[in-house]
Amino acid sequence: MPEKTAEPAKTAEVPATAAVPVPAAGLDAGPSPDKSRSLWSDAWHDLRRQPMFLASSVLILLLLVMAIAPGLFTSASPRDADLAAHYLQPPNWSHFFAEDWLGYDGQGRSIYARIVYGARASILVGVGVTVLVTLFGTVIGMIAGYFGGWIDSLLSRVTDVFFGIPFLLGALVVLTTFENRTVWVVILALAFLGWTQIARIARGAVITVKQADYVVAAKALGASTGRIMFRHILPNALASIIVVATIALGGYIAAEATLSFLGVGLAEPTVSWGVDVATGREQLRNAPFTLIIPSVMVSITVLSFLMFGDAVRNALDPKLR
Three-state DSSP state, 313: helix
- Between 150 and 100, the more confident residue is 150
- Rounded Cα–Cα distance for residues 186 and 124 (Å): 10
| Distance of alpha carbon 226 from the chain centroid | 28
- Rounded Cα–Cα distance for residues 191 and 287 (Å): 35
Q: What pLDDT, in 10s, does the model give residues 63-86?
A: 999 999 998 898 888 888 888 888
Residue 268 pLDDT: 81
- Nearest CA among 191, 170, 172 for reference residue 260: 172
Q: What pLDDT, in 10s, does the model give residues 144-158?
A: 998 988 999 999 999
- Rounded Cα–Cα distance for residues 186 and 172 (Å): 10
Q: What pLDDT, in 10s, does the model give residues 222-267?
A: 888 888 888 888 888 888 888 889 889 988 999 998 998 888 888 8
Q: Is the pLDDT of residue 110 over 70?
A: yes
Residue 1 pLDDT: 44
Domains of the chain: 56-67+98-316 (1.10.3720.10)
What angle (nearest 5°) sits at the alpha carbon of residue 296, between those of residues 194 and 88? Answer: 125
249-252 long-range Cβ contacts below 8 angstroms, 24+ apart: 249/126, 249/127, 249/129, 249/130, 249/305, 249/309, 250/126, 250/301, 250/302, 250/303, 250/304, 250/305, 250/306, 250/309, 251/302, 252/125, 252/126, 252/129, 252/130, 252/190, 252/194
Peptide bond into 269 cis (omega under 30): yes
Distance of CA 4 to CAs 1, 7, 9, 103, 277, Å? 9, 9, 15, 106, 104
Q: Is the pLDDT of residue 133 over 90?
A: yes
Burial of 35 (0-12, 13-18, 19+ CB in 10 A): exposed
Residue 321 pLDDT: 54
What angle (nearest 5°) sits at the alpha carbon of residue 291, between those of residues 285 and 295? Answer: 145
Q: Is the pLDDT of residue 47 over 70?
A: yes
- Rounded Cα–Cα distance for residues 306 and 234 (Å): 24
Contact between residue 174 and residue 264 where contact means Cβ atoms under 8 Å apart: no
Residue 258 dihedral angles phi and psi, to the nearest 5°: -65, -45
Residue 35 pLDDT: 53
Percentage of the residues of the chain whose pLDDT score is greater than 70: 86
pTM for the full model? Answer: 0.80
Q: What pLDDT, in 10s, does the model give residues 160-180?
A: 999 888 998 999 999 988 888
- Between 259 and 19, the more confident residue is 259
Average pLDDT over every residue of 122-130: 92
Residue 150 pLDDT: 92
Residue 226 dihedral angles phi and psi, to the nearest 5°: -65, -40
Q: What is the mean pLDDT of the chain?
A: 82
Residue 129 pLDDT: 94
Contact between residue 125 and residue 183 where contact means Cβ atoms under 8 Å apart: yes
Q: What pLDDT, in 10s, does the model give residues 264-302?
A: 888 888 888 988 988 888 888 888 898 999 999 999 999
Residue 132 pLDDT: 95
Average pLDDT over every residue of 4-24: 46
Average pLDDT over every residue of 6-20: 45
- H helices within the chain, ranges in order? 39-47, 51-68, 83-86, 111-147, 149-163, 167-175, 183-194, 196-209, 213-220, 225-227, 234-262, 273-280, 289-316
Residue 25 confidence class, pLDDT cut points 50, 70, 90: very low
